[in-house]
Structure 1
């Protein structure tokens, strides 16, 4: 019974596993790397793609591990996979909004979440098997993202960015896995300010919720 009760550790690990698969899927769908450099795999009982390049896999794994470290601090507002042009101009942002993840003391990360009162809020969390069904539905949407987006220019690259909560402390450990940047301007979700937002899906796990959407930046930088 206890093994089926989600803890913050199992919740964070489930999300970072999902994030890893999502990054590979985005890179494949948007042809950031040649699609022939990806192999077929399965996750959440769904057909996915995974890069075969060891350096790409290593970079993704290191980035996701750094995200997980910040999640355990309760400091993360959003995680974004950013595709930018060869002129270093952002073109697309795949945003995973995780601000409603509970903030759990380090001593309680292995305690079932339903038994915790995190910041005065207590509520149910779905079994991980039910969350995986929602991960599969989200992956299905990401796997079809190219059908609702224009092609990106040749020579694009990507990175992973973390936006911290207002009270979040920027990571200062050495070696430094993150490069501090200025906060971006708020996006109102409309096609004004050069950004078009396309919703993907919300994953609800009882009292825990995270949302995924795509921000498309209208760019005329001539990279095409």
Structure 2
């Protein structure tokens, strides 16, 4: 009985594990959105299996370099409970107008003293299933999102608490879409941090 209990406890994530899951989720989501929405040529992505799903990851060196630079910052700020939301915007490359925004709103579970929880209570397999469902839904969004009929670029904003420090990061004007329609997708929880996904797009 004791051995079984110990094994079960090991399947619950810690804060570090929660952060790793969220950063991994965001990396795959970012690449999936860029692929599904045609921001870069289809041939610049390679298929890979993740959580039992076929996901597409960019093989462009500049995208890999970009994610390699930002992911460590995300890990640090998530560990410190500093991030409020991540916003990935797809913009008209000429006018710079945001046409589509993907928001990942993050809420941390806190202890009675106001500190972020260090130990979760949800089995890892349940968290992975929830993440799988969100990734699957992101892929399915192409069925209702308007066609992006112009060349697009992407912009990433990390909305943090006021006392957050990060080299190379600065204050910017929040991205917004005129006459936007917003759709809430599935959420997932590590029982330490909760991630709520939304997509907003310009109403035609």
Q: TM-score, normalised by structure 1?
A: 0.77
Name the one with the larger strand percent: 2
Task: State whether structure 2 residue 97 is matched by structure 1 residue 89.
Answer: yes
**Aligned ranges 1:117-136 → 2 under 5 Å:** 119=114, 125-136=121-132
Task: State whether structure 2 residue 17 is matched by structure 1 residue 18.
Answer: no
Q: Report deviation, 1:184.
A: 5.5
| Aligned residue among 213, 218, 221 for 2:198 | 213
CA, structure 1 residues 93+101, in 2 after alignment: closer, same or farther (shift >3 Å)?
Answer: same
Tell me the distance in 1 between the aligned counterparts of 2:81 and 2:92.
32
- Equivalent pairs counted in the alignment come to 195
The DSSP-based 3-state class of the residue aligned with 2:121 is coil
Task: State whether structure 2 residue 79 is matched by structure 1 residue 72.
Answer: yes
Structure 1 runs (4+) deviating above 4 angstroms are 120-124
Q: Which residue of 2 aligns with 1:169?
A: 163
Q: Report deviation, 1:33.
A: 0.1
User: 5+ unaligned residues in a row in structure 2: which ranges?
Assistant: 1-5
Residues 63-114 of structure 1: per-residue CA shift (max 9 Å, x gap): 222222221221111111111111211111111110x2246xxxxxxxxxxx
Q: Which residue of 2 aligns with 1:179?
A: 170
Q: Report deviation, 1:218.
A: 4.0
The DSSP-based 3-state class of the residue aligned with 2:146 is coil
Tell me the distance in 1 between the aligned counterparts of 2:132 and 2:202.
27
Confirm or deny: 8 A CA contact 1:74 1:102 kept in the other structure: no
Pairwise CA RMSD of aligned residues?
2.5
Task: State whether structure 2 residue 75 is matched by structure 1 residue 62.
Answer: no
Q: Report deviation, 1:5.
A: 2.9
